[in-house]
Amino acid sequence: MKVKVLDAHLVTKIAAGEVIERPASVAKELIENSLDAGATKIELFVEGGGERRLCVADDGEGMTQEDLLLAIQRHTTSKISSEDDLSNIRTLGFRGEALASIVEVSKTVITSKSDESPEGVRVEIEGGRVLSVKAAGRARGTTVDVRELFFNVPARRKFLKSEKTEFFHIVRVVKRFALAYPSVHFRLEHDRKNVLDLPPRHDLRQTIAQLYTPELACALLDVHTAIPGITVRGLVSPSQIVRSDRTEQFIFVNGRFVKDSQINYAISQAYESALTGDQHPYVFLFIEIDPRAVDVNVHPQKAEVRFAEPIKVQAVVKQAITKALTSAHAVPRLEKSLTLPSGQPSPLGHYERGAGGEGPVHSRTREPMPSPIAKQLDLHSEIEALRQAATAPEPEPSFHVLGQLHGTYILVQTESGLEIIDQHIAHERILYERFLAQLREQKVIRQRLLIPMTIEMPPDKAELLAAHLKDLDERLGIGIEHFGGGTFILRDWPQVLASEWSKREFIETIERVLAVLEHEAEPSLEELAKTLAARVACEAAVVKNKPLRPEEMRELVKQLKQMQNPYHCPHGRPIVLAYSLEELEKRFGRR
């Protein structure tokens, strides 16, 4: 075999395979170009799931004939001009590959007009070859009409899914941009039927109300935290409104939708005490960061980024969401159950849920939902109010213990109604926070195991464990000696965690600590401590079906109400269910 130079069109087809995966990829790249061109209205006309036709029209700044003929060639762009620009990217596009890739694998007609030209220009391209260039009438802006996608790449075309599935992915793309750019008017048609029409909004909640339901938009919690160089803002759902998957979690970095496992981990850590492992919140998160501190030139599709200081970004995201959840003080209530969004009409219709296989959303709401948002919230004043509330002295809780139900639940009369408290989970929460405080203060009393325990770890985990033996020893009181290869000897264990555990249970607990170490290059003591405290608290808490004296119940409730999070156990289960006096009166016909 001899080395040879590939044909230019073959090279472009190979590159197109990296950039254009399916019709939704075309929609994404063209919408990015429209936004970079300053468009205030973007319309998409789709036929046959996007394979037969996908047309994007905008009112952006448009192109001259000279610029348009250059734009359809590879590595031509107006967004960067030097190597230094790569470290300070402020536009969505910059690689100069997308348009060239699209026209290489389709039959495309591009019509554009700029303010610099008295008339527009129309260019027809088939498989990367220009067939015609002629004058055309058009208002300022650009229309890219893509037909018969992958007509000359049958191998790629046969891997496309059904029309319904492909259009579902296009809807997801439009939805992401509508969330990130609510001030832009987006309109989407499929087979001449209007599917989405989202007029410009200046409030993210209003956009969410259009895409989902007004009830969900009103229930979401404001997120806003800023440190020098990084701002995190957006909306997240309270722990009562959850899903069974992460498909409704949207992360944007400088206006760009991204997928990032480190940020996902920070989100899950913020919710760890409120949700179980199979529950996932709605997340609409916007991270604004100095462009020089993030690398977006990681993948041709630009869906991945690399942060210069990922640990700092993780910490700010977690802090922002934790603050929102803490300020909500959400107690699950029994009076109403909603299903969002599957139980109510959605402007996305069956494309949004049918093709994606999304199930119902399980929700318990704390109070009747207010009417749809009519004005933009003043986030700064709201945060200031929360800050002042956090520093105000807490009043002595007012409650009266009524008794015990089935030796498991404590019935408590409050000013607003009735609370039912699971005594085991409540005690677990109290022990958890106490143990966490001890570990955080590093007042750990060590207990030497009577018989040292030999532990075998697989190579990847062995390397990770060996690198953090000093941290475990000095910060957590876990004394482990590396015996070579994947063999370790466990000699010391924190006395506060001492338990009649089997070897398997010790290994499982250490593996939980390793899971934290895997995701965080510099894990905080708090994160490591939580994994230990949650485990021992569950083992040591008072069991159910145990009668308690009135004074014991009152003391348990009193201590619970003094906890930082008296609403959920460390594993996410609810501690308290509340029944309002208003709802009781409605049930008995008093209202």
Residues 191 and 210 in one domain: no
pLDDT of residue 380: 40
Render pLDDT for 477-512 as a digit per residue (tens, 0 to 9): 788 999 888 899 998 887 656 556 677 777 777 777
Task: Give burial (CB, 10 Å; 0-12/13-18/19+) of 491.
Answer: middle
Q: Give me the percent of the chain exceeding a pLDDT of 70.
A: 74
- How confident is the prediction for the chain on average, in pLDDT? 79
CATH, residue 96: 3.30.565.10
- At which of 163, 198, 233 does a domain end? 198
Distance CA 26, CA 33 (A): 11
Please report whether residue 394 resides in a domain. no
Residues 282 and 185 in one domain: no
CA atoms within 13 A on the CB side of 537: 24
> Tokens representing 391?
């520093």
pLDDT of residue 347: 46
Residues 315 and 416 in one domain: no
Residues 437 and 572 in one domain: yes
Q: Is 299 helix (H, G, I), strand (E, B) or coil?
A: coil
Helices (H), 212-341: 214-219, 261-270, 310-328
Residues 185 and 214 in one domain: no
Render pLDDT for 68-105 as a digit per residue (tens, 0 to 9): 999 998 777 766 556 665 566 677 766 567 898 899 99
Residues 505 and 575 in one domain: yes
Residues 432 and 336 in one domain: no
| Number of residues written out for the chain | 591
Task: Kindly state the helix (H) or strand (E) to which residue 454 belongs, with its residue range.
Answer: strand 446-456
Q: Is the pTM of this model over 0.85?
A: no
Render pLDDT for 305-351 as a digit per residue (tens, 0 to 9): 888 888 889 889 998 998 888 776 544 444 333 333 333 444 444 44
Residues 176 and 211 in one domain: no
Please report whether residue 393 resides in a domain. no
pLDDT of residue 357: 36
pLDDT of residue 379: 35
pLDDT of residue 387: 44
Please indicate whether residue 44 or residue 520 has the higher confidence score (pLDDT).
Answer: 44
pLDDT of residue 574: 83
Residues 55 and 80 in one domain: yes
Residues 182 and 208 in one domain: no
Render pLDDT for 191-221 as a digit per residue (tens, 0 to 9): 999 999 999 988 899 999 989 888 899 999 9
Is 301 a residue whose pLDDT tops 90? no
pLDDT of residue 573: 75
Domain count, the chain: 3
Please report whether residue 369 resides in a domain. no
Residues 80 and 211 in one domain: no
Please report whether residue 349 resides in a domain. yes
Distance CA 389, CA 542 (A): 33
Please report whether residue 395 resides in a domain. no
Is 384 a residue whose pLDDT tops 60? no
Please indicate whether residue 437 or residue 424 has the higher confidence score (pLDDT).
Answer: 424
pLDDT of residue 356: 37
Contacts of 434 (CB under 8 A, 6+ apart): none
CATH, residue 484: 3.30.1540.20
Residues 174 and 263 in one domain: no
Please report whether residue 509 resides in a domain. yes
- At which of 166, 198, 230 does a domain end? 198
- At which of 341, 364, 387 does a domain end? 364
Distance CA 373, CA 377 (A): 9
Distance CA 208, CA 216 (A): 8
Beta strands in 283-396 (DSSP E): 283-289, 294-295, 306-307, 337-339, 362-364
Please report whether residue 75 resides in a domain. yes
Please report whether residue 392 resides in a domain. no
- Domain residue limits at 332: 204-364
Task: Kindly state the helix (H) or strand (E) to which residue 534 belongs, with its residue range.
Answer: helix 525-540
